[in-house]
Structure 1
Amino acid sequence: MLLRRRGSLPTQAERLLSYLATPQAQATGFDAAVAQAVLHGRTCGTDVVGDELLAGFDHFSLARKRLLFDVYLAVVGAVPFEPSMLRPVKAAADGRDNTVTWIEMITLSVRVLVADGLGRGSEVTGAERDRLLELLGSSRAAVWENYTAAHLMALLAVQRYASEHPLVDRGIKGLLGCLNADGGAPSMSNLDVFTTGPAGLALARAKAEPALLHRMCDYLTARQMPDGGWAFGETMGHSDVDASSYAAACLATVDPVRHQGALTRAAEYFRGIVGKDGGFPTYMKGDPSEVGMTGGAVSALAWNGPDHADLLGGAARWLLDAQHEDGTFERSWSLSEANTIWRAMWALHSMPTPVQAAGLEARLTRASAASERFLINARNPDGGWGYRPGDPSDMASTCYSLLALSAMGRRVDRDPVVQAGVEHLLTRQDPDGGFTALPDQVAPRPLLFDAPVFSDIWALLALTSCDSDWNWHSRAQE
C-alpha cells in the first residue's frame, strides 16, 4: 500500500504482492484479511482481531494492540476507519505503562492515519507531525530500531502530510533492503544481538571451540549499551531485559573472569530496571513485570548470586506468586506454555543456596511439582509437546519442556519422560543437522514471527541440558 500510494517501484511492489498471494502469507484470519484487501480489495466481514487474533490475550497492552491491529486493517481497506479509533488509548489499567520510543511512534502514526482516513487530518497538530518526523529520523538502523512494523506504520503516516520528505524515500529503501528471499518483509529486520546470546550459551554447553565462543562474546561485549544492557538488534538505541539476560548468561558461562567488567555493568542494568514487586519488565522500569523477563534476569544474575541475594530473593518470590495453580505461567512472548515454565524453573533452580534457604525451599518444591505435573500430563503420545495441551507436538515446545524438566534434575539416562522427549526431538532433525520448527516467537504481541536459527539454538540447548548434570550456575553455588 505504501508503494502503491507513492506510485513508484512497480517491480518491488509486484514482488511483495507475489508473497502476499502465498498460503504462508495468509496463515491466519488476520493475515488473510490484510492480504485479500491488498490483493483484491476485499473487505473483512468478521472481527478477526477480537474473535481470533486477540482472543484470550490477557496483557496490559490489550487496548493499544486492539487499536493497532484495527488500524492495520483500515489502512489496507479491509475495514473502514471509525471515529472510535481517534479516542486516546489509556495506558495499562494500573497506569504504569511507560512510553518506549516505538510505542510513541506507533501511537503518533495511528493518530495521523486515523485522522486522515476520517477526513479530519487538520486535528493533528503541527507539533505531533514534527515529533513523528523527529522519531522516524532518530534511528541509526536502516529500518527504524530494526522494528519493521513500526517503521512501516510511520512511513504510511508521514506520507499523508510530507510525502516528499527525504525520510520517506530513505525509509522505503531501508524496508526493501530487508526483504527475505521469499519476497516478504520480516517484522524485525535484525535480531543478531538477541540470537547470539542464547546461541553462545548453547554452544558453551556443547563444549564448542573456545576461540569460537570468545569471538561470540567479543561481539556481545562490543554491543553492550551505555546502561549495561543489550538491545535485540544492531545499531539500536533501546536495551531490553530479554536480550540482556541471554547476553549476560552467555558471557558468564563462557568466561566470567574475562568478562567481569561487562557482567558488572549488566548487573547494574538489572538492578536499575527491577520493579518494586521484585519482578522484571521487558523494556522500561515501572512497566508491569513479566515471567519470561524475570526468569531470564534471575538466570543471568545467578553467576554472582550471593552479591545479589536481595534481588534474587525478590524475583524468586515474584515468580512463585505468578505461577498458576496448574503449574503454568503467563505465556507473553511465546505461544508455548512450556516457554515460561522453562524460564521460571531454570531461574528458581539456579538460585544460590543462601537464597533458597531464605524460606523459599518449600515453595520451590511445590512450584516444581506443579510444573512437573503439568508437563507430564501435557505430553503427547509421540513423546513431544505442543503449544498447549492437546496441540500437536512441535519442536520448540518440546525443547522448552525438556529444558524445564532438566532444570528440575530430570535427565535422559534415568528418566523415561525425558528419554521419550529426546527421542522425539531427534526424529525432527533435518539431514543437515539443523531443526525446523513452527513459528513461536511473537512481536508485536501476539503476531507470530519466524527466526529459524532459534530452532537450532533451542534444540542444542535442550539436548545438552538433558544429557549432562553440568550446571552453568555451578560456579556461583560452589
Structure 2
Amino acid sequence: MSTSCALPLRGASLAVPGALPGSAPPTDPLSPVALRPDALRPELDRARARLATRLVAAAGPDGLLRAPCDSRILESALALRLLTVTGVDPDAQERLTRHLKIAVDEGAPDPVQEAAARAALGEYVDGRAALNRLLGGFDHFTAGRKRLMFQTVLAELGAHPFPELPSPGAPGDPGALFEARGQQRWLITEMAALKTLYAFGTGAPRLVTEDDWRALTPCSLPGPPPYGNHLARILALLALRLRPRYAATVRARAREVRNWLRGDGGLPFITGMDVFATATGGLALAGAGAPAHTLRALAAALTECQNPDGGWGFDRGVAQSDVDDTAYCVEFLRASAPERCGGVVAAGERYLLDRQGGDGGFPTFEHGTASEVAITAAAVNALAPAPGHRRAVEAAVRFVVARQEGAGEFERSWSLNESNALFRTVLAYDSFRAVTPPGHALEAGVARARQRAVARLVATQNADGGWGHVPSDPSDPISTAYALIAVSRGRDGPSAPTARGATERAVRHLLERQRPDGGFVSRPDQAGPRPLAYHVPLLTDVCVLLGLNHARAAGPHTHGSPCSPDSPCSHRGTP
C-alpha cells in the first residue's frame, strides 16, 4: 500500500492558498489586504496567531479538536416528552423545562421550534401555522419529507392532532411517504420512528412492520446515540415505547438522557463535530503556518477515525461516512502528512469515487441519491490533485457549472448561507484550472461560473464589510469568512478591482469583531435537519481563520506566518 500521495495544488487548496493558477503574484500595492500594508498586515497576522492558538488549545486527549454542539430546542422538547411519558428522572425533566422556558423567553430561532417548546411545556400553539411559516419558502428536494417530519413531531408533542391517514395502497399511502430505503442510516431510523408515531397516533399500528422495529432497535442500546444523532435516537425511543416488549429498555435509555444534557440543561442535535472540526481546523492551521508536528498529530488522530468503507463521519464513533467530511479529511491529510497517509488518502478517494452519480455530481451520503453543488465542489477539491481522477473531476465540474448556470438562487445545501457553496465552487474551479491544459472544452463555462460566483458576493456585501446568510441579512463572522475566501481569490476577470476593495473591507470587518479572548461569536451556520439551524461554536474560529489565511495569501507577501517559533501554537508537544 502506498505511503505517500499527491501533494496539494498550489493556489487551489483550502490549506495552502498561494498564487492562483495562471496568474502572477500581485505586485500592485493596492492589491487585496495591501491597501495600507504597514497598518493592516501586522494586525491581520496577530489575529490569525490568536485564532491558531485557540484551535490548538481545543485539542483533547485523543488528538481531535473538541467541538461540542450547543443545545437545541427541538431535541430538548422531545427529550422532555420522552421523560414525561416514561415517568423517569424528575430532576432532568426540571432542567429541560427550565431550558425550554428560557429559550422561549429569549426568542426561539424559528416558528417550529417555538411551537415544539410551547407544546412540550403544555401551552397552546398553532402547529400548522408554525409549519407553514417555516417551510413556506423552503425550496429543496427534501421539502416534502421535512414537512411530513415536522408535522409528525409537532403532533407527537401535542401541537395539533395527527392528520388522518390515507388508505394503504391509495395515493399518498403512508408506507410510501415514510420510505427511506437507500438513504443514510440515521434518516432510515428517523423515518421509521416517525412512521411508527404517525401510525399509532392515528390508530393504525398495523402499518408498522417488523423491518421498522428492527430499524429502531439500535437506538435501544446503551452508550452514545447511533450515528451521533440525538434527534434520531429520541424519536426512536418515543416510537419504541409503543411496543410493550421495549418498555423497560426505553425507560433505561430515558434515564441516561441526563448524561447528554449540556450545561444549560438542554439536549443538542448531535454529539459534536470533532472529526469535521479537526479536518477543517487542521486546514486552517496549515494555512496559518502551524508547525509540522502539530499538523501530523491532528492527522494521526483523524486516521484513527476512518471508517472501514474508507470515509469519515462528522464525529468520533459515527459509522455513517459522508462525502463532506471525507473530502475535508482527504484534503487535510494530503496537506499535512502526504508522506505518511498515502494509503489512508487513497481509501478516502475510493470512498468518494464510489459515490459519484451518473450526472457527475456527488450526494452527501449514499450513491444514487440527489447530487448537491456544495458537496460536489468539496469532492473536486479533494480529488483534483491526483492525476488518476481527472475524468471524475471533469464530470463533477461539468455538473457544478451546469447547475450554477441554470440556477436562479444559489444553492445553500447543509449550510444556511450562500457564501458556503460559493467559496467551495470557486476553489473547485481553481482546482480544475490548475490541472487542466488551456483550451479545454469546459474552460469558458468555468470562467463564466467563477466570475458569476465572485460577482454575486461582491454585489451582496453589506455596508459594514460583512455578509449574512443571504443578501440583506445582517453580517455574521462565518458567512463573512466564507465569502472572504472567494472574493480574495477574485484577482482576475472583470470583478478584480471591486473584489480587491471587498477583500479589505471584509478583513477589517472581521478584525474589528475579534473578542478579547481571540475568538469570534457568530449566528449558527449549519442546518440539520434542513432548514433548522444548529451550532458548533468552535467552527466559527475555524472558518474565520480559513478566511483570514486566504486574505493574507492574496497580498503581495504570501509567505508570512503568524505561527512563529515562539508562538503558543508552535510549542513542541502540543497536538
Question: TM-score w.r.t. structure 1 length?
Answer: 0.91
Give the match for residue 379 of structure 2: 297
Give the match for residue 177 of structure 1: 259
- How many angstroms apart in 2 are the aligned matches of 1:97 and 1:379? 42
> Which one is further off, 379-388 or 96-105?
96-105
Give the match for residue 21 of structure 1: 101
Give the match for residue 140 of structure 2: 59
Give the match for residue 476 of structure 1: none
Paired residue type of 2:90:
P
- How many angstroms apart in 2 are the aligned matches of 1:57 and 1:45? 17
Deviation at 1:256, TM superposition (A): 1.6
Give the match for residue 474 of structure 1: none
Give the match for residue 216 of structure 1: 298
Change (3 A) 1:226 1:287: same
Equivalent in 462, 477, 483 of residue 401 of structure 1:
483
- How many angstroms apart in 2 are the aligned matches of 1:25 and 1:414? 37
Q: Is it true that 1:152 corresponds to 2:230 in the alignment?
A: no
User: What secondary structure is seen at the aligned counterpart in 1 of 2:242?
Assistant: helix
Q: Is it true that 1:437 corresponds to 2:517 in the alignment?
A: no
Deviations along 1:34-59, one digit per CA (max 9) or x if unpaired, are 1111113313165222x222222222
Give the match for residue 59 of structure 2: none
Deviation at 1:356, TM superposition (A): 5.7
Change (3 A) 1:378 1:356: farther
Change (3 A) 1:61 1:89: farther
- How many angstroms apart in 2 are the aligned matches of 1:460 and 1:70? 39
Give the match for residue 44 of structure 1: 126
Deviation at 1:302, TM superposition (A): 2.3
- How many angstroms apart in 2 are the aligned matches of 1:106 and 1:414? 44
Deviations along 1:342-372, one digit per CA (max 9) or x if unpaired, are 1111111122544364222211211122112
Equivalent in 496, 500, 510 of residue 425 of structure 1:
510
Report if the CA contact (8 A) 2:296-2:336 is conserved. Answer: yes
Deviation at 1:468, TM superposition (A): 0.7
User: What secondary structure is seen at the aligned counterpart in 2 of 1:346?
Assistant: helix
Give the match for residue 317 of structure 1: 398
Deviation at 1:120, TM superposition (A): 2.6
Structure 1, unmatched stretches of 5+, are 472-478
Q: Is it true that 1:461 corresponds to 2:543 in the alignment?
A: no
Give the match for residue 5 of structure 1: 85
Deviations along 1:287-343, one digit per CA (max 9) or x if unpaired, are 110011111111111232x22110110111111011156886311111111110011
Give the match for residue 335 of structure 2: 253
Deviations along 1:97-130, one digit per CA (max 9) or x if unpaired, are 72322222112211211122123334434x1454
Give the match for residue 124 of structure 1: 208
User: What secondary structure is seen at the aligned counterpart in 2 of 1:303?
Assistant: coil
Q: Is it true that 1:136 corresponds to 2:216 in the alignment?
A: no
User: What secondary structure is seen at the aligned counterpart in 2 of 1:5?
Assistant: helix
Change (3 A) 1:345 1:90: farther
Deviations along 1:122-168, one digit per CA (max 9) or x if unpaired, are 4434x145414434257x95112111111110000011113754542
Give the match for residue 275 of structure 1: 357
Give the match for residue 4 of structure 2: none
Change (3 A) 1:178 1:67: same
> Which one is further off, 159-168 or 231-240?
159-168
Deviations along 1:411-460, one digit per CA (max 9) or x if unpaired, are 99992210001100111211100110001100111110010011000000
Change (3 A) 1:225 1:7: same
Paired residue type of 1:403:
I
Change (3 A) 1:299 1:14: same
Q: Is it true that 1:333 corresponds to 2:418 in the alignment?
A: no
Report if the CA contact (8 A) 1:274-1:285 is conserved. Answer: yes
- How many angstroms apart in 1 are the aligned matches of 2:227 and 2:290? 32
Report if the CA contact (8 A) 2:458-2:487 is conserved. Answer: no
- How many angstroms apart in 2 are the aligned matches of 1:44 and 1:387? 28
Give the match for residue 33 of structure 1: 115
Give the match for residue 315 of structure 2: 233
Change (3 A) 1:97 1:407: farther
Report if the CA contact (8 A) 1:96-1:287 is conserved. Answer: no
Change (3 A) 1:85 1:409: farther
Change (3 A) 1:46 1:238: closer
Question: TM-score w.r.t. structure 2 length?
Answer: 0.76
User: What secondary structure is seen at the aligned counterpart in 1 of 2:432?
Assistant: coil
Paired residue type of 2:539:
F
Give the match for residue 50 of structure 2: none
Higher relative contact order (CA 8 A, sep 6+): 2
Change (3 A) 1:243 1:41: same
Report if the CA contact (8 A) 1:412-1:418 is conserved. Answer: no
- How many angstroms apart in 1 are the aligned matches of 2:377 and 2:133? 29
User: What secondary structure is seen at the aligned counterpart in 2 of 1:288?
Assistant: coil
Deviation at 1:27, TM superposition (A): 2.6
Structure 2, unmatched stretches of 5+, are 1-80, 168-172, 560-575
User: What secondary structure is seen at the aligned counterpart in 2 of 1:323?
Assistant: helix
Change (3 A) 1:448 1:33: same
Give the match for residue 475 of structure 1: none
- How many angstroms apart in 2 are the aligned matches of 1:438 and 1:381? 19
Report if the CA contact (8 A) 2:115-2:127 is conserved. Answer: no
Report if the CA contact (8 A) 2:128-2:151 is conserved. Answer: no
Q: Is it true that 1:71 corresponds to 2:152 in the alignment?
A: yes
Change (3 A) 1:9 1:96: closer
Report if the CA contact (8 A) 2:416-2:526 is conserved. Answer: yes
- How many angstroms apart in 1 are the aligned matches of 2:349 and 2:207? 46
Deviation at 1:174, TM superposition (A): 4.7
Paired residue type of 1:68:
M
Give the match for residue 424 of structure 2: 343
Change (3 A) 1:388 1:396: same
User: What secondary structure is seen at the aligned counterpart in 1 of 2:451?
Assistant: helix
- How many angstroms apart in 2 are the aligned matches of 1:45 and 1:148? 23
Report if the CA contact (8 A) 2:119-2:157 is conserved. Answer: yes
- How many angstroms apart in 2 are the aligned matches of 1:442 and 1:345? 22
Give the match for residue 462 of structure 2: 380
**Structure of greater Rg:** 2
User: What secondary structure is seen at the aligned counterpart in 1 of 2:340?
Assistant: coil
